Structure 1
Amino acid sequence: MTRLTVALTGDCMATRGALITSDPAAGELRELLHGADFAFTNLEVVPSAGRGHPVHNAAGGGGLVADARVLDEITEAGFTVLGCANNHALDMGVDGLLGTVELLNAKRIPFAGIGADLPAARRPVYVDRPGGSLALISCSATFLPGQEAAAASPELPGRPGLSPLRHSALLEVTAAQMEVLREIDAGTGLRARRAEARTLLGFDPAVPSSEWFTLYGARFRVADEPGFTTACDQADLDEISEWVVEARRRADLVVVSVHSHEPGPTPQTPGEFLRAFAHRVIDEGADVVVGHGPHFLRGVELYRNKPIFYSLGNVVSQIELADRLPAEDYAKFADRGQFTPGRYFDELSGHGRRLFAPHRPYWRSLVPVLKYDDGTLVEARLHPIDLGFGRPVRHRGRPRLADGAEAKDILTDFARLSEPYGAVVSVGDTGTGELLIPPSTAG
């Protein structure tokens, strides 16, 4: 019988050392990670060894760059396989991304989600253990234009970057609302400014078909009731799915990592496209989907008895301890004299009154440990994590197993977030919880 355990975590934003502290509860977390056959995290920092140049990244909240030694800290903590597709992967540009690839290869750390071209970024990484194998596929829905990898053409090489999961928004409006939009389009002169495009293309780019009307990048469609939804780019969905099928043939377990900040109807729910994506890759053979990106927990769904963690929040967050910042970040406070990294982050956070510092959910997360017998999920233990909410900046952001009331609060909140998907999370008195697996799966 093949018996394997997988520990899953969310975003790892390590910029300093000793990720596992001398706290006994932190040591217990280290043992948990080291005890799993595979321990996954999302590497959301550029481990720079001097390659690349900072990229303006307003959408990503500024650069997140650290010394290359953080990779040693991450592996020492117990992580053995990394997803790298996220909105900070190219904070040092294409050269910085290629430098990350070189460092990970040199240190023989398995990773997926970035590469020298699109095929390299798309393909799974395979990790073998005496008891069996795991394939990891990593992609990101959140990135800036041009950060997605591209394939080579017969004449030109491909573009280094991340594996993209593009998506689009669709706004449904009533017939009367659509008429108002068309009146605005005509009355403001927008339609007239498309005259050249209509001449060159032979059609109005704002009306690519009788079904859609596009205005400043937003797509509108007539419906009985107003609404808003999102949908995956079909080509990206199909390409990633093909690699899932490939991985299913070649590994005992298949994990799909997806980075997505985009919300659904509320910040705690995923975008509609993300749920459709997760269902598709499980249909194609994935054993588990692990989401991250919004920096707080979202719920879990059991689809075809396979878990989809829509966001596991953070496992390490040392953003405010980063000491490699681009000039454009400092320029935000140029009128206040000479800045150091510490002063910059203190001003950016309003001296701890805004951004992440005052928000307790940011400093809470979970580490699910999944146990498989012959590829069947038989147990899913949930270990709540405390990242030090309210502690000084030099201390918070490093994980420990939560205990007592804090652990129960995290699990209770996670159970509530999972209810809309029909998943049942037990909250015990031992500091851990469990995702209840239907008997048909466990049997």
Structure 2
Amino acid sequence: MTRLTVALSGDCMATRGALITSDPAAEELRELLHAADFAFTNLEVVPAGRGYPVHNAAGGGGLIADPPVIDEITAAGFTVLGCANNHALDLGVEGLLGTVELLREKRIPFAGIGADLTAARRPVYVDRPGGSLALISCSSTFLPGQEAAAPSPDLPGRPGLNPLRHSAMLDVTAAQMAVLKEIDAETGLRARRAEARTLLGFDPALFPPDRLGLFGTRFRVADEPGFTTDCDRTDLDEISRWVGEARLRADLVVVSVHSHEPGPTPETPGEFLRTFAHRMIDEGADVVVGHGPHFLRGMELHRNKPIFYSLGNIVSQIDLADRIPAEDYAKVAADGPLTPGRYFDELSGHGRRLFAPHRRYWQSLVPVLTFDDGALVEARLHPVDLGFGEPVHRRGRPRLAGPADAKEILTDFARLAEPYGTTVTVDSTGAGELAIESGNSTVG
């Protein structure tokens, strides 16, 4: 029998050192990560030391660190990295290629970025004495042009990340559509598309007739108003193809997806993400691990395979970054020149806004999954505390949560998982467990 364990985590935004502190609870977390055959995290920082800052509206500012943070991340126990996220190109293509070179030099397995689309899409394979794992990493949140592109017969491909594009559609009634078309006509927007109509032979905003593209939004006539999102079919099929490839070549297949986009509430994922996650499991993935919104979302078991829609953060040292683009400095009004520390202090309203005052941002989980011959037999959920309310230079480094915080985190996660039919219980050690179907019985 092949028994393999996988530890999972969310966003790792490390910008300083000693990610594992002298706190015994932090050391327990390190031991847990080191004990797993594979320990995954999402590298959401550019550690390249080269490149030029990119205006990053999708990420809300640059997230840049020096190369030694990679040594801190591996010392903490992480052994395989997902790199596709909205900060992967904060230093442009040069920074991304620098990240690729740095991780290769250090022989750290990673996926999700590369010199062209195929390189970004490919799985990375991690071999251990007991078995192998394949990781595919993708992102639905990024700026246009940050997605990797394939070469043509005339030009090389574009370096970038593995994209999971999606589209949004607003359903409106026929009466509401009539009002929108009236606005389009009477404001002069339709007249300004005259050249496009001449060149294309049709109005691109009114094609097909029951749909309308206006204000950068797509509208569709339906019986009831609503809003939904859909996966880009090409991306869905291409990522699926690589999952099928990985299924042939590894004992376990993990798909990492970075997605900030919400569903009907901030706690629920966009509709497209659930479609994507189910397709990945159907194509052969053993786990889908999500991250991006910086707090926990729910999870479900699809075909008895776990889908975590967001595991929140495992390290958050954003406020300790020392590499601030000029455009970010310019967003903050202050008397006199800003230093990095002053910039973040002013940006957060001295701790009164953004992430600092929100307890849920500083709470997360590390699931440790056990597979026997590829079948999930145990899933233990370890609550993690990142130091809510502590000084900026102390918070953001992970430790296993104490009893009160652990209960709060697990209770909240159980609530988030319940709509998906997932049961979370708490054992005597303070860790959570998932109820997993094993044959005709349930094990914890």
**Into which bin does the TM-score normalised by the smaller protein fall?**
over 0.9
Pairing 1:410–2:409 present: yes
Aligned residue for 2:19?
19
Aligned residue for 2:110?
111
SS in 2 for 1:67: coil
Alignment of 1:7-406 (within 5 A): 7-49=7-49, 51-333=50-332, 335-406=334-405
Q: Percent of pairs identical after alignment? A: 82
- Cα distance in 1 for partners of 2:388, 2:428 equals 22
| Aligned 8 A contact 2:377 2:438 in 1 | no
- Report the alpha carbon displacement of residue 233 of structure 1 after superposing the two structures with TM: 0.4
SS in 2 for 1:47: coil
- Report the alpha carbon displacement of residue 207 of structure 1 after superposing the two structures with TM: 1.7
Q: Letter of the 2:168 partner, please give it.
A: A
- Cα distance in 2 for partners of 1:32, 1:361 equals 23
| Aligned 8 A contact 1:170 1:219 in 2 | yes
Cα shift readout 1:96-126 (whole Å, capped 9, x = no counterpart): 0000000000000000000000000000000
| Aligned 8 A contact 1:257 1:289 in 2 | yes
SS in 2 for 1:332: coil
- Cα distance in 2 for partners of 1:335, 1:402 equals 37
- Cα distance in 2 for partners of 1:4, 1:110 equals 18
Q: Letter of the 2:204 partner, please give it.
A: P
- Cα distance in 2 for partners of 1:347, 1:161 equals 32
- Cα distance in 2 for partners of 1:16, 1:200 equals 54
| Aligned 8 A contact 2:57 2:143 in 1 | no
- Cα distance in 2 for partners of 1:211, 1:238 equals 27
- Report the alpha carbon displacement of residue 334 of structure 1 after superposing the two structures with TM: 5.2
- Report the alpha carbon displacement of residue 10 of structure 1 after superposing the two structures with TM: 0.1
| Aligned 8 A contact 2:287 2:307 in 1 | yes
Structure 1, 305-314 or 52-61: larger mean CA deviation:
52-61
Q: Letter of the 2:36 partner, please give it.
A: A
Aligned residue for 1:439?
438
| Aligned 8 A contact 1:46 1:97 in 2 | yes
- TM-score when scaled to structure 2? 0.98
| Aligned 8 A contact 1:408 1:429 in 2 | no
Q: Structure 1, unaligned stretches of length 5 or more?
A: none
- Cα distance in 2 for partners of 1:387, 1:240 equals 33
- TM-score when scaled to structure 1? 0.99
Q: Letter of the 1:159 partner, please give it.
A: R
- Cα distance in 2 for partners of 1:430, 1:413 equals 18
| Aligned 8 A contact 1:170 1:220 in 2 | yes
- Cα distance in 2 for partners of 1:433, 1:397 equals 22
| Aligned 8 A contact 2:52 2:95 in 1 | yes
- Report the alpha carbon displacement of residue 88 of structure 1 after superposing the two structures with TM: 0.2
SS in 2 for 1:295: coil
- Cα distance in 1 for partners of 2:235, 2:2 equals 33
- Cα distance in 2 for partners of 1:393, 1:109 equals 29
- Cα distance in 1 for partners of 2:334, 2:284 equals 55
- Report the alpha carbon displacement of residue 208 of structure 1 after superposing the two structures with TM: 2.2
Moved over 4 A (4+): none
- Cα distance in 2 for partners of 1:119, 1:53 equals 24
- Cα distance in 1 for partners of 2:393, 2:421 equals 40
SS in 1 for 2:136: strand
SS in 1 for 2:332: helix
- Cα distance in 1 for partners of 2:308, 2:333 equals 41
- Cα distance in 1 for partners of 2:232, 2:410 equals 34
- Cα distance in 1 for partners of 2:211, 2:259 equals 26
- Report the alpha carbon displacement of residue 402 of structure 1 after superposing the two structures with TM: 0.4
The 1:329/1:167 distance shift into structure 2, 3 A limit, reads same
- Cα distance in 2 for partners of 1:145, 1:90 equals 11
- Cα distance in 1 for partners of 2:335, 2:434 equals 51
| Aligned 8 A contact 2:414 2:424 in 1 | yes
- Cα distance in 2 for partners of 1:288, 1:333 equals 41
SS in 2 for 1:60: coil
- Cα distance in 2 for partners of 1:426, 1:413 equals 12
| Aligned 8 A contact 2:58 2:141 in 1 | no
Total equivalences in the alignment: 442
Cα shift readout 1:403-428 (whole Å, capped 9, x = no counterpart): 21110010000000000000000023
- Report the alpha carbon displacement of residue 335 of structure 1 after superposing the two structures with TM: 4.8
| Aligned 8 A contact 1:118 1:158 in 2 | yes
SS in 2 for 1:333: coil
- Cα distance in 2 for partners of 1:236, 1:230 equals 14
- Report the alpha carbon displacement of residue 216 of structure 1 after superposing the two structures with TM: 2.3
- Report the alpha carbon displacement of residue 15 of structure 1 after superposing the two structures with TM: 0.1
- Cα distance in 2 for partners of 1:427, 1:28 equals 18
- Report the alpha carbon displacement of residue 429 of structure 1 after superposing the two structures with TM: 4.0
- Report the alpha carbon displacement of residue 333 of structure 1 after superposing the two structures with TM: 2.7
SS in 2 for 1:336: coil
- Cα distance in 2 for partners of 1:335, 1:324 equals 18
| Aligned 8 A contact 2:291 2:312 in 1 | yes
Q: Letter of the 1:104 partner, please give it.
A: L
SS in 2 for 1:198: helix
Q: Letter of the 2:179 partner, please give it.
A: V
SS in 1 for 2:360: helix
SS in 1 for 2:62: coil
- Cα distance in 1 for partners of 2:188, 2:396 equals 51
- Cα distance in 2 for partners of 1:317, 1:67 equals 15
Q: Letter of the 1:422 partner, please give it.
A: G
- Report the alpha carbon displacement of residue 48 of structure 1 after superposing the two structures with TM: 2.4
- Cα distance in 2 for partners of 1:428, 1:31 equals 20
Cα shift readout 1:295-352 (whole Å, capped 9, x = no counterpart): 0000110011100000000000000000010111111235521110000000000000
Q: Structure 2, unaligned stretches of length 5 or more?
A: none
SS in 1 for 2:176: helix
